[in-house]
Amino acid sequence: MTQHRFPVRIYYEDTDFSGNVYHAAYLKFFERGRTEFLRDAGIHHSELAGQGIAFAVRGMDIQFDGAAHIDDLLTVTTEVAAITGARLTLTQAILRDQTVLTRANVVVVAIKTAGGAARMPREILTRFAPTP
């Protein structure tokens, strides 16, 4: 799959007293980008939940390279870096025009909604497996 792109507009609620986007808001933007990335790939959280499966972020490494401001139109990019039977590793970035403002490497794992670890669903492994 190629790089997925998702637009995000910055609203007053996303900013802090300085007029810059509050650092925790970037986590929401990354989450929206991951959700839409999966949705566009035909993978829906509600369907997975019906199977007793959910995703949890296992780890995230974030680099803040620049600040976004109110009314900015940003783009969240998401792409698969690696996948195994237990983990999906994604590379994400938030850009204003062509300028990268924030970067993240995210490790997502499958869990059972009843509790405990789960194997990555087969449809996800198949969908994102590297092509030879």
Out of 16, 40, 65, 71, pick the active-site residue: 16
Contact 60, 67 (CB under 8 A): no
Which alpha helices (H) appear in the chain, and where do they start and end?
23-40, 45-50, 122-128
State the Cα torsion 22-77-37-131 to the nearest 10°. Answer: -150
- Measuring CA to CA, how many Å separate 10 from each of 15, 40, 89, 114? 8, 23, 26, 36
> Beta 73-83 vs 87-96: how paired, if at all?
antiparallel
Instruction: Establish whether 61 is a catalytic residue.
Output: no
Distance, in Å, from the CA atom of 17 to the CA atom of 36, rounded to the nearest integer, reads 30
Q: Which residues are catalytic?
A: 16
